[in-house]
């Protein structure tokens, strides 16, 4: 399968929204809304993340995952339910699947936690890990808030509709390591790097990964490979935004497939940012998105209740 050179995923310039004229801003909103309605993914440039910071982040993330397992597990805390720190191999299973994904990862949350939010934990062995992850966290949080302003306009809501809902929100930066499989024949049947799933959150911002593997399920049922260009990030709709808009904006199913057998012994690194609101956000379907033609699909719940439900489904919370 040839990777889509983002010709099947619309490519937009965030600068058109932030510093363009009224016509450019209006066009950006329309194009973003159309992409999220039709495929659920879009490629964005001028998002605020520069190549130097991206490379520095990947380098320190790789250094962490090469540490011995005993060292990494010093930063794994069962009582945090995978919401902060290290999550070891075999711990997360996609909803509806019985075999755990072939990955390990590290979660960085709100730099300045409020209320019952847990504090971040950082590896003492790598001082740069905290520096670079928090800088990228703040960069993506700013970009995410800007994109949510555009989404609000598209939905005919006040432009600042999401602002208070995501302020000090439960967003997560996830540093992922899809570890090498030197003996593919020993892999459990059906195990893949990340089984087909939709993200839990409002929107996900994803910088280019270290290797190919990401695939998106098109509405016609065909899987297409996606690779972000160096100056772009890929942004997709999560389940919370899907619920809020009664499936008007689509949380697209995606997966990370295993590489060809000859590359199974290599690592893949990926760093998505999951934009979450605060736990008390009401995800009740917007009245404007419910009609006779599109009746209400989802039960009412808060973002916190939905997150709790999904963490249990993923096996991170018992």
Strand partners, 85: 107
Q: What are phi and psi of 140, to 5 degrees?
A: -70, -30
Buried b (16+ CB within 10 A) or exposed e, 158-168: eeebbeebbee
Residue 4 maps to a domain? no
Asked, for residue 2, whether it belongs to a domain, the answer is no
Q: Measuring CA to CA, which residue among 266, 260, 215 is closest to residue 236? A: 215
- How confident is the model over 42-51, as pLDDT tens digits? 999 999 999 9
Q: In this structure, is residue 5 part of a structural domain?
A: no
Q: What percent of the chain has pLDDT over 90?
A: 62
Q: Which residues, in sequence order, are CB contacts of 224 under 8 Å at separation 6+?
A: 1, 4, 8, 215, 216, 218
88 is a domain residue: yes
Question: What pLDDT band is residue 8 in, cutting at 50, 70 and 90?
Answer: low
Q: DSSP state, 64? A: H
Total structural domains in the chain? Answer: 1
Distance of alpha carbon 10 from alpha carbon 5, whole angstroms: 10
**The pLDDT of residue 73 is above 50:** yes
Q: Who contacts 316 (Cβ-Cβ below 8 Å, separation ≥6)? A: 81, 82, 87, 91, 92
pLDDT: which is higher, 117 or 212: 117
> Is residue 275 within 8 Å of 233, Cβ to Cβ?
no
Residue 137 vs residue 218, higher pLDDT: 137
Does residue 6 fall inside a structural domain?
Answer: no
Nearest by Cα to 141 from 133, 129, 130, 151: 133
Residue 3 inside a domain? The answer is: no
For 104-114, the pLDDT digits (tens) are: 999 999 998 88
Q: Residue 311: which residues within 8 A CB-CB, separation 6 or more?
A: 81, 82, 317
pLDDT > 70: what percent of the chain?
94
CA distances (Å), origin 158, targets 127, 155, 161, 236 = 41, 9, 5, 22
Q: How many CB atoms lie within 10 A of CB 266?
A: 14
Residue-wise burial string across 132-153, b where 16 or more C-beta atoms lie within 10 A, e elsewhere: bbeebbebbbebbbbbbbbbbb
Alpha-carbon distance of 231 to 267, in angstroms, equals: 23
pLDDT at residue 293, as a whole number: 92
Max intra-chain CA distance, the chain: 58
The answer for residues whose C-beta is within 8 angstroms of residue 218's C-beta and 6 or more apart is 8, 39, 224
Residue 139 falls inside a structural domain = yes
Q: What is the CATH number of the domain that holds 274?
A: 2.60.120.330
* Cα separations in angstroms, 111 against 20, 38, 114, 244, 259: 31, 34, 10, 26, 35
Whether 128 is in a domain gets the answer yes
Q: Calculate the dihedral angle through the C-alpha atoms of 180, 181, 187, 190, rounding to the nearest 10 degrees.
A: 50
Domain hosting 90: range is 11-314
Residue showing tokens 């490979």:
225
The confidence score (pLDDT) of residue 100 equals 78
CA distance 101 to 205: 21
Evaluate if residue 258 carries a pLDDT over 60: yes
230-246 per-position pLDDT tens digit: 889 999 999 999 999 99
């Amino acid at each position: 399968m040839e990777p889509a050179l983002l010709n099947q995923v619309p490519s937009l310039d965030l600068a058109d929204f932030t510093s363009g004229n009224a016509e450019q801003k209006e066009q950006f909103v329309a194009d973003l809304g159309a992409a999220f309605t039709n495929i659920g993914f879009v490629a964005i440039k001028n998002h605020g993340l520069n190549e130097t910071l991206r490379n520095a982040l990947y380098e320190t993330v790789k250094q962490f995952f090469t540490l011995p397992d005993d060292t990494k597990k010093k930063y794994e805390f069962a009582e945090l339910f995978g919401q902060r720190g290290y999550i070891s191999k075999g711990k997360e299973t996609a909803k509806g699947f019985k075999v755990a994904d072939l990955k390990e990862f590290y979660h960085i949350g709100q730099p300045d936690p409020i209320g019952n939010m847990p504090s971040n934990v950082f590896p003492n062995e790598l001082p740069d890990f905290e520096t670079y992850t928090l800088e990228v966290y703040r960069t993506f949080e700013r970009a995410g808030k800007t994109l949510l302003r555009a989404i609000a306009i598209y939905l005919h809501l006040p432009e600042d509709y999401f602002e208070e809902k995501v302020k000090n929100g439960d967003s997560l930066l996830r540093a992922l390591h899809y570890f090498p499989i030197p003996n593919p024949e020993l892999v459990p049947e059906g195990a893949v790097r990340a089984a087909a799933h939709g993200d839990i959150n409002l929107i996900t911002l994803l910088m280019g990964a270290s290797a190919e593997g990401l695939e998106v399920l098109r509405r016609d049922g065909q899987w297409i490979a996606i690779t972000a260009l160096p100056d772009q990030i890929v942004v997709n709709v999560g389940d919370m935004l899907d619920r809020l808009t009664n499936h008007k904006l689509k949380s697209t199913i995606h997966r990370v497939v295993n590489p060809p057998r000859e590359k199974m012994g290599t690592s893949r690194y990926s760093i998505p940012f999951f934009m979450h609101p605060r736990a008390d956000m009401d995800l009740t379907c917007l009245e404007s998105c419910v009609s006779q033609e599109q009746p209400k699909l989802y039960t009412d719940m808060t973002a916190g209740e939905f997150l709790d439900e999904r963490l249990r489904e993923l096996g991170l919370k018992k």
